[in-house]
């Protein structure tokens, strides 16, 4: 419903934007030069057009438009798929979608196989001559059973009857199929059961199911019933064997000889065993194939052709919908499993995506029992415990209390301090953020912050001091070019899969970037500025703080921006590897369970968070270094 | 007595390849307190090197240079420097740039603010105290650089082509400003320029330097600076004597340049 409205809105917006743009182009004074930068400014209407176009592609290719306007179409296509599937094995018997009759193809192939085998046997050095002769004779008699299958005069009456019965049933189906009375009404009880089952069936795209398999419409029921009947016909056909008693006798003789030969072999004659088994297999392949005389199935073929034509005609509107509204794939190709095959599967429908996103955002639902972004009340004592190390109490003078002879323990100052640093006290609670998104954010933030805190001073030091540059250069330059994720297994082993490992990995990423940018900033300080500061009476420390540091700020902040991007990318991949929270973890789990909606949601969330990070840093840059590029 | 005395100053640079550049050779001169010296010369004749030695940024290879009997041994507040491009701290406002020296000395902020106002007024930037430096035009930036240097009350002011990057009109105004400051404060000033006209207009004394090795070629004592103190600079430029001197020095420099080119070819 909503999707339908949105689709119309999009179409209106697209048409409106194009018309408005056209009008604007006409009224704008025409600039004769190509490449006028004025044109690069674009226009809101083109932005609307672009966004709508994107949204439309999404709606269309995820088959959400099909779902909005023809909610039953997937189900109907599924029924068509059933018919197509049932016809398939029958059609393959004839040159309908193949080049040859199946019988022809089998005979051709088996003759080749047998001749190849004869050649192989004659060239086998390790076989005894009398074995060779026996094998060739067996193969020749195997080859000679084929004519017993293909000769009209060995086609038994019984077989002929079955074929004509099947042919008539298909003909009748062809006749009835287009009629309104097809399928015939079920018995009351059966109908009741059918409707009951239908009511239990959930709709298209409902959780855990892509396309509902039971027919929901009359047209669907028609195809469904026909498919069932065709399945029966096909089963009967393939269980029928064209085996004349003469043929059976001959086969029996061959099998008997093979058996006798095998029982005469001893354990050492593996080679002979292999050959005789292969010879037996060749015979079996012919035995179990459906081989019929050349024109024995002509009537059946015609009836199948006729039915195929009729069912294709009957598909009518369904087929048109399939072509128009199911781009890039189709449900029909999935056969009777009734699944979405194509972008409908891996490109989630906007409607589903937003619904699932809404669910994920609910703090009570979240993902794997952890909300995406929420808050929890945490006692101040826990926070104190986290930030104050326990040794603070240990290094205080004095001893911890000792129990008295009355069996009591009197707290003293030292033990009270210990209570505080271990968070062992009552305190009010404050809300702190939690959830997958927050965890990811916090990791990046901490990694980045540590990288800045340690990298900037070291970088500036390296930019000013030959020793520092030379001493730390090998260290930084050797670990920096290694892709961060290559470090991941090692670091995760050393620091654990939890936050410490990830934060350290991110610290490594940001540390090298910050060193390099701070160093570049410090090295880039104009000598005349340092000279000026010197003659104005600044000390070394003052020059460092008042001249070199602010002068390096543009580079440092650009470094922060780059590092933030790198950290973000690394984090998501690291969360993919290990861990139990974070947005990368969510995606990894969703990937395992093929929850395409969730995958796309995580991709979207990562994009937005990365963008927010970047925008924030860009804002900070604009705020703190407005002189950049203007000095 | 706070004269600037330079005795047999020699500066030889050694490039990493081991080539020696004799940038200054036997420079000897005495600059009395309150004198305005302009230094002229073709590019690469060692003007900047001389100034850097006077400022204490470079140590001479041999010889010594003293200011008021103190040997110059490193940068110091008593020698202020004005650079070609101002070398302002663009992350600071005009006032913060001007008071930089006082802040480094931790002078009382109220007093500092008063002095800043005073100097901004003198250089003609009243009311620009809170303007970010990067928004200033080239001429205004040089005014800030002047104020930043003068607020420290140095004995000697060293200017390395301070007006070189300015347009003609601004340049003329700044020349008047330099003369005005010289007159009002009575500071000793060395001003390097590549403009013959500017050297003649501003210099009480003018040194024309020659390259390879860098040395003082000719010295002039000129009246135009004192004339310019109360007269119109443009009038002086049309003065007959001025024009003759200008042509003389110009052709001298031309010859030097030609000699260099000849050498190089
Ligand atoms: N740090 C240095 N190392 C090597 N040679 C230098 C250095 N500084 C200046 N020179 C050389 O000394 C000569 C004088 O330079 P400089 O004083 O800058 O000339 P000017 O300012 O008159 O154009 C030039 O030939 C220059 O190449
Ligand atoms: Mg120079």
pLDDT tens column, A136-158: 999 999 999 999 999 988 998 99
* Chain B residue numbers touching A551 (CB-CB < 8 A): 89, 91
Find the CB nearest A537 among B87, B90, B101. Answer: B101
Pick the range with the lowest mean pLDDT from A75-79, A114-118, B118-122, B227-231: B227-231
B interface with A, Cβ–Cβ below 8 Å: 52, 55-57, 75-77, 79-81, 83, 85, 87, 89-92, 100-101, 104-105, 132-135, 145, 148-149, 152, 154
Chain A residues near residue B138 by CB distance under 8 angstroms = none
Residue A326 has a pLDDT of 92
Per-residue confidence band for A231, with pLDDT thresholds at 50, 70 and 90 = very high
Record the tokens describing residue A601, joined without a space: 């949601």
Q: Is B193 in the pocket of ligand 1 (CB under 6 A)?
A: no
Which residue has better confidence, A454 or B87?
A454
Q: Is B264 exposed, middle or buried (0-12, 13-18, 19+ CB in 10 A)?
A: exposed
pLDDT of residue B163: 86
Q: Which residue among A531, A536, A542 places its CB closest to the CB of B152? A: A536
Interface contact B87-A550, CB threshold 8 A? no
Res A520: pLDDT: 92
Q: What is the C-alpha to C-alpha distance for residues A290 and A296, in angstroms, rounded to an integer? A: 12
Partner residue opposite B132 with nearest CB, options A529, A536, A626: A626
CB contact under 8 A, A553 and B91: yes
Matching residue, tokens 């999009």:
A10
Instruction: Report the nearest-CA residue for atom 11 of ligand 1.
Output: B23
**How many CB pairs (< 8 A) connect A and B?**
76
pLDDT band of residue B182 (cuts 50, 70, 90) is confident
Point out the ligand 1 atom lying closest to the alpha carbon of residue B50.
Answer: 17
pLDDT at B219: 87
Cα B15 to ligand 2 centre (Å): 18
| B227 within ligand 1 shell (Cβ under 6 A) | no
pLDDT score for A390: 83
Confidence of residue A389 (pLDDT cuts 50, 70, 90): confident
Of A532, A625, A630, the CB nearest to B81: A532
Would you call A531 and B81 a contact, using CB atoms and an 8 Å cutoff? yes
The residues, ordered by sequence, that sit 6+ positions from A94 with a Cβ below 8 Å of its Cβ are A101, A102, A297, A301, A304, A305
Task: Give the pLDDT mean for A415-423.
Answer: 86
At A42 the pLDDT is 73
pLDDT at residue number B191? 92
Contact across the interface for A627 and B100, Cβ inside 8 Å: no
Which residue in the set A531, A537, A625 is minimally distant from B57, CB to CB?
Answer: A531
**Which residue's CA is the closest to the ligand 1 atom numbered 3?**
B13
SS3 track for chain B: CCCEEEEEEEEEEECCCCCEEEEEEEEEEEECCCCEEEEECCCCCCHHHHHHHHHCCCCCCEEEEEECCEECCCCCCCEEEECCCCCCCCCCEHHHHHCHHHHHCCCCHHHHHHHHHHHHHHCCCCCCCCCEHHHCCHHHHHHHHHHHHHCCCCCEEEEECCCCCCCHHHHHHHHHHHHHHHHHHCCEEEEECCCHHHHHHHCCEEEEEECCCCEEEEEEECCHHHHHHHCCHHHHHHCHHHHHHHHHHHHHHHHHHHHHHHHHC
Segment of A41-50, B141-150, B240-249 carrying the highest mean pLDDT:
B141-150
What is the tens place of the pLDDT at every residue in B103-145? 988 888 898 899 899 889 888 888 888 888 888 888 889 889 9
More confident of the two residues A583 and A42: A583
| Distance between A462 CA and the closest CA of chain B, angstroms | 22
At A39 the pLDDT is: 67
B148 to chain A: closest CA residue: A536
Token pair, residue A630, equals 């203007």
CA-proximal residue: ligand 1, atom 14 (nearest): B46
Element (H, E) at A377: strand A374-379
Distance B42 CA to ligand 2 centre (A): 9
Residue scoring higher pLDDT (A301 or B137): A301
Q: If you take atom 21 of ligand 1, which residue's CA is the nearest one?
A: B48
Q: How far is A556 from chain B (nearest CA, A)?
A: 14
Contact B100 A526 (CB under 8 A): no
pLDDT over 90 percentage in chain A: 46
Half-sphere exposure of B60 (CA within 13 A, CB side): 25
Tokens for A146, please give them.
């084929």
Whether residues B79 and A535 touch (CB distance < 8 A) is answered with yes
Shortest CA distance from B48: residue in chain A: A528
Q: What secondary structure does DSSP assign to A21-66, as a single string?
A: HHHHHHHSPPP-STT-GGGGG--HHHHHHHHHHHHHHHHHHTTHHH
H or E, element range at A429: strand A429-434
Q: How far apart are the first and last CA of chain A?
A: 58
Beta-bridge mates of residue B36: B189
With a CB cutoff of 8 Å and minimum separation 6, the contacts of B220 are: B203, B205, B206, B208, B245, B249
**pLDDT tens, position by position, A236-287:** 999 988 899 999 999 999 999 999 998 888 888 888 899 999 999 999 999 9
Could you count the other beta carbons within 10 Å of the beta carbon of residue B114? 11
Could you tell me if B192 and B52 are in contact, meaning their C-beta atoms sit under 8 angstroms apart? no
Chain A residues whose beta carbon lies within 8 Å of the beta carbon of residue B81: 531-532, 535
**Domain A435-624 classification at class level:** mainly alpha
Which residue of B90, B101, B132 is in closest CB contact with A536? B101
Residue B34 — very low, low, confident or very high, per pLDDT cuts 50/70/90? confident
At A453 the pLDDT is 96
Which of A530, A536, A539, A545 has the highest number of chain B CBs within 10 A, making it the mutation to test binding with B? A536
Mean per-residue pLDDT, A364-369: 83
Please state, as a whole number, how many other Cβ atoms lie within 10 Å of the Cβ of residue B117.
15
Phi and psi dihedrals of A280, rounded to 5?
-65, -40
**Which segment of A582-596, B51-65, B216-230 scores lowest on mean pLDDT?**
B216-230
Rg (CA), chain A: 39
Q: What is the pLDDT of residue A142?
A: 93
* CB within 8 Å of A578: residues ≥ 6 apart: A492, A497, A501
Q: Is the pLDDT of residue A229 over 70?
A: yes
**Sheet with B205-210: strands ordered across:** B79-82, B156-160, B188-192, B36-40, B205-210, B215-221
Output the CA B213–ligand 2 centroid distance in Å: 15
Mutate to test the pocket of ligand 1, among B12, B18, B21, B212 (most ligand atoms within 8 A of CB): B21
**Cα separation, A272 vs A83, whole angstroms:** 48
- Nearest Cα to Cα of residue A602 among A572, A559, A563: A572
Position of tokens 């079920």? A186
CA distance A183 to A173: 10
The verdict on the CB of residue B138 being under 6 Å from ligand 1 is no
Q: Which of B51, B53, B80, B104 to mutate to test the interface with A (most CBs of A within 10 A)?
A: B104
Q: What per-residue confidence (pLDDT) applies to B136?
A: 87
**Residue with the nearest Cα to atom 25 of ligand 1?**
B44
> Per the CB < 8 Å rule, is B55 touching A535?
yes
Which of the given ranges, A171-175, A462-466, A471-475, B21-25, has the highest pLDDT on average?
Answer: A171-175
pLDDT of residue B2: 77
Beta strands B4-14 and B62-67 are: antiparallel
Which residues are CB-neighbours of A280 under 8 A, at least 6 positions away? A255, A258
pLDDT band at B236 (very low <50, low <70, confident <90, very high): confident
At B222, the pLDDT band (50, 70, 90 cuts) reads confident
Q: What's the confidence (pLDDT) of residue B224?
A: 78
Ligand 1 atom nearest to B209, measured from its CA: 22
Contacts of A606 (CB under 8 A, 6+ apart): A568, A572, A583
- As a whole number, mean pLDDT of residues A218-223 equals 93
Does residue B52 have its Cβ closer than 6 Å to ligand 1?
Answer: no
Q: What average pLDDT is seen over chain B?
A: 86
* Rounded distance between C-alpha atoms, residue B105 and residue A539, angstroms: 9
Q: Is B44 in the pocket of ligand 1 (CB under 6 A)?
A: yes
Starting at the earlier edge strand, list the strands of the sheet with B4-14: B20-31, B4-14, B62-67, B70-71
Q: Which atom of ligand 1 is nearest to the CA of B43?
A: 23
* pLDDT given at position B73: 86
Q: Looking at ligand 1, which residue's alpha carbon is closest to its atom 18?
A: B48
Position A630 scores a pLDDT of 60
**Average pLDDT rounded to a whole number, residues A580-599:** 89
In the reported structure, the alpha carbon of residue A517 is separated from the centroid of ligand 1 by a whole-number distance in angstroms of 30
Residue B46 CA, closest ligand 1 atom number: 17
CA B192 to CA B199: how far, in whole Å? 8
pLDDT given at position A206:
67
Q: Of A560, A614, A584, A595, which is closest to residue A488 (Cα–Cα)?
A: A584
Q: Torsion angle, CA of B255/B259/B261/B265, rounded to 10 degrees?
A: 150
Q: Report the greatest alpha carbon distance in chain B.
A: 61
Tell me the C-alpha distance between B136 and B62, whole Å.
Answer: 41
Contact B83 A532 (CB under 8 A): yes
Q: How far apart are CA A514 and CA A472, in angstroms?
A: 14
- Whether residue A166 is predicted with pLDDT greater than 90 in this model: the reply is yes
Q: Which of A559, A562, A583 is nearest to A571 (CA)?
A: A583
**What pLDDT sits at residue A373?**
84
What distance in angstroms lies between residue B260's CA and the mean position of ligand 2's atoms? 17
For residue B264, pLDDT beyond 70: no
Give the integer Cα–Cα distance in Å for A610 and A174. 60
Q: Per-residue pLDDT tens for A103-114?
A: 999 999 999 999
> What domains can you pick out in chain B, each with its CATH number?
4-24+42-229 (3.40.50.300)
* Mutant choice from B52, B91, B106, B144 vs A, greatest count of A C-beta within 10 A: B91
With b for 16 or more beta-carbon neighbours within 10 A and e for fewer, the A104-123 pattern comes to eebbeebeebbeebbeebee
**Tens digits of residue pLDDT in A270-280:** 888 999 999 99
The mean pLDDT of B159-183, rounded to a whole number, is 86
Residue A434: per-residue pLDDT: 87
Contacts of A430 (CB under 8 A, 6+ apart): A377, A378, A380, A383
Residues A55, A61, A62: CA angle, nearest 5 degrees: 90
**Tokens 């965890």 identify what position?**
A439
Higher pLDDT, A366 or A157: A157
- Residues from chain B contacting residue A630 (CB–CB below 8 Å): 90, 134-135
Q: What DSSP designation does A371 have?
A: -
Of B201, B208, B156, the residue nearest B174 (C-alpha): B201
ipTM, 2 dp: 0.91
Question: Strand B4-14 to strand B20-31: parallel, antiparallel, or no bridges (unpaired)?
Answer: antiparallel
pLDDT at A324: 92
* Closest chain A residue to B51, measured at CA: A531
Long-range contact set of residues B245-252: C-beta below 8 Å, sequence gap at least 24:
B245/B200, B245/B220, B246/B196, B246/B197, B246/B200, B249/B40, B249/B196, B249/B199, B249/B200, B249/B206, B249/B208, B249/B218, B249/B220, B250/B196, B252/B208, B252/B217, B252/B218
Residue A471's pLDDT is what?
A: 93
H helix or E strand, kind and range, residue A456: helix A436-464
Residues of B in contact with A542 (CB under 8 A): 104
Question: Which of A144-148, B250-254, B255-259 is the least confident region?
Answer: B255-259
Are residues A596 and A345 in contact, defined by beta-carbon separation less than 8 angstroms? Answer: yes
Residue with CA closest to ligand 1 atom 26: B44
Strands A374-379 and B20-31: unpaired
Would you state the pLDDT for residue B262? Answer: 66
d(CA A74, CA A148): 48
Cα of B126 to nearest chain A Cα, Å: 22
Which residue in B has a C-alpha nearest to residue A553's C-alpha? B91
pLDDT tens digits for range A462-494: 999 889 999 998 888 888 888 888 888 888 888
Which residues have CB under 8 Å from A552's CB, separation 6+? A460, A463, A518, A520, A521, A522, A524, A525
A118: Cβ contacts below 8 Å, ≥ 6 apart:
A136, A139, A140
pLDDT in tens, A603-619: 999 999 889 988 999 89
Structure tokens at A259: 């058996």
pLDDT tens, residue by residue, A92-103: 989 888 888 999
Q: Which helix (H) or strand (E) holds A260?
A: helix A245-263
- Lowest-confidence region among A112-126, A408-422, A554-568: A408-422
What CA–CA distances, in Å, run from A152 to A158, A167, A287, A464, A593?
13, 18, 17, 101, 56
């Amino acid at each position: 419903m909503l999707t339908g409205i949105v689709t119309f809105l999009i179409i209106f917006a697209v048409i409106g934007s194009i018309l408005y743009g056209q009008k604007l182009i006409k009224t704008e004074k025409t600039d004769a030069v190509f490449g006028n930068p004025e044109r690069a400014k674009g226009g809101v209407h083109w932005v609307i057009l672009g966004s709508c176009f994107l949204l439309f592609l999404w709606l269309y290719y995820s088959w959400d438009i099909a779902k909005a306007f023809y909610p039953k179409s997937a189900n109907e296509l599924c029924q068509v798929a059933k018919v197509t599937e049932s016809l398939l094995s029958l059609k393959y018997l004839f040159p309908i979608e193949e080049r040859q009759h199946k019988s022809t193809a089998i005979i051709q192939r088996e003759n080749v196989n047998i001749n190849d085998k004869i050649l192989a046997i004659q060239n086998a050095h390790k076989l005894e001559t009398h074995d060779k002769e026996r094998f060739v004779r067996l193969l020749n008699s195997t080859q000679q059973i084929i004519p017993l299958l293909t000769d009209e005069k060995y086609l038994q009456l019984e077989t002929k009857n079955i074929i004509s019965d099947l042919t008539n049933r298909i003909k009748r189906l062809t006749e009835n199929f287009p009629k309104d009375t097809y399928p015939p009404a079920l018995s009351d009880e059966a109908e009741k059961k059918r409707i009951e089952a239908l009511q239990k069936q959930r709709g298209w795209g409902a959780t855990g199911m892509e396309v509902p398999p039971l027919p929901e419409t009359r047209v669907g029921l028609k195809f469904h019933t026909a498919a069932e009947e065709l399945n029966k016909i096909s089963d009967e056909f393939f269980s029928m064997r064209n085996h004349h008693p003469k043929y059976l006798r001959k086969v029996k003789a061959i099998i008997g000889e093979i058996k006798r030969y095998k029982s005469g072999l001893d354990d050492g004659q593996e080679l002979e065993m292999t050959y005789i088994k292969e010879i037996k297999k060749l015979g079996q392949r012919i035995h179990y194939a459906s081989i019929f005389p050349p024109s024995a199935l002509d009537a059946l073929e015609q009836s199948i052709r006729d039915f195929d034509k009729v069912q294709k005609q009957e598909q009518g509107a369904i087929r048109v919908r399939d072509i128009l509204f199911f781009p890039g794939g189709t449900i029909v190709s999935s056969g009777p499993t009734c699944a979405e095959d194509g972008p409908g599967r891996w490109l989630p429908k906007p409607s589903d995506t937003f619904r699932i996103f809404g669910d994920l955002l609910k703090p009570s639902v979240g993902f794997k029992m952890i909300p995406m972004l929420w808050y929890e009340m945490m006692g101040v004592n826990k926070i104190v415990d986290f930030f104050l190390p326990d040794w603070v109490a240990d290094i205080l003078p004095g001893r911890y209390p000792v129990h008295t002879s009355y069996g009591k323990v009197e707290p003293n100052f030292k033990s009270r301090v210990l209570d505080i640093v271990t968070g062992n006290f009552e305190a009010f609670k404050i809300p702190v953020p939690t959830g997958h998104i927050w965890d990811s954010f916090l990791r990046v933030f901490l990694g980045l912050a540590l990288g800045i805190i340690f990298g900037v001073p070291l970088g500036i030091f390296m930019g000013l001091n030959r020793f520092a540059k030379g001493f730390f250069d090998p260290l930084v330059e050797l670990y920096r070019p290694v892709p961060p994720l290559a470090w991941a297994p090692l670091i995760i082993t050393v620091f654990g899969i939890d936050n410490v490992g990830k934060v350290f990995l991110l610290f490594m990423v940001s540390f090298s970037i910050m060193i390099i940018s701070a160093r570049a900033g410090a090295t880039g300080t104009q000598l005349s500025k340092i000279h000026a500061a010197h003659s104005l009476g600044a000390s070394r420390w003052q020059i460092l703080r008042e001249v070199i540091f602010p002068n390096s700020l543009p580079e440092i902040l650009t470094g922060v921006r780059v590092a933030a991007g790198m950290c973000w990318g690394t984090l998501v991949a690291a969360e993919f590897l290990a861990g139990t929270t974070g947005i990368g973890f969510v995606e990894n789990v969703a990937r395992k369970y093929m929850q395409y909606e969730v995958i796309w949601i995580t991709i979207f969330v990562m994009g937005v968070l990365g963008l927010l990070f970047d925008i924030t840093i860009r804002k900070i840059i604009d705020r703190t270094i407005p002189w950049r590029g203007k000095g | 007595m706070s004269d600037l005395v330079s005795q047999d100053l020699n500066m030889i640079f050694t490039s990493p390849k081991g080539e020696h550049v004799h940038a200054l050779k036997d420079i000897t001169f005495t600059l009395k307190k309150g004198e305005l010296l302009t230094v002229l010369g073709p590019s690469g004749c060692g003007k900047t090197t001389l100034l850097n030695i006077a400022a204490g940024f470079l140590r001479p290879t041999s010889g010594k240079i003293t200011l008021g009997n103190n040997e110059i041994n490193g940068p110091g507040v008593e020698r202020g420097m004005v650079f070609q491009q101002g070398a302002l701290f663009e992350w600071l406002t005009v006032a913060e740039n001007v008071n930089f020296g006082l802040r480094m000395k931790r002078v009382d902020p109220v007093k500092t603010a008063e002095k800043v106002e005073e100097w901004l007024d003198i250089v003609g930037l009243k009311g620009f105290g809170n303007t970010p430096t990067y928004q200033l035009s080239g001429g205004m930036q040089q005014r800030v650089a002047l104020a930043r240097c003068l607020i420290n009350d140095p004995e000697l002011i060293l200017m390395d082509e301070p007006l070189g990057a300015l347009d003609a009109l601004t340049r003329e105004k700044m020349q008047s400003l330099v003369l005005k400051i010289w007159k009002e404060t009575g500071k000793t000033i060395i001003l390097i320029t590549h403009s013959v006209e500017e050297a003649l207009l501003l210099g009480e004394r003018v040194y024309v330097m020659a390259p390879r090795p860098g040395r003082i070629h000719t010295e002039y004592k000129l009246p135009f600076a004192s004339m310019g103190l109360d007269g119109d600079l443009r009038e002086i430029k049309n003065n007959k004597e001025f024009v003759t001197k200008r042509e003389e020095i110009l052709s001298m420099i031309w010859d030097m340049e030609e000699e260099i080119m000849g050498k190089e070819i």
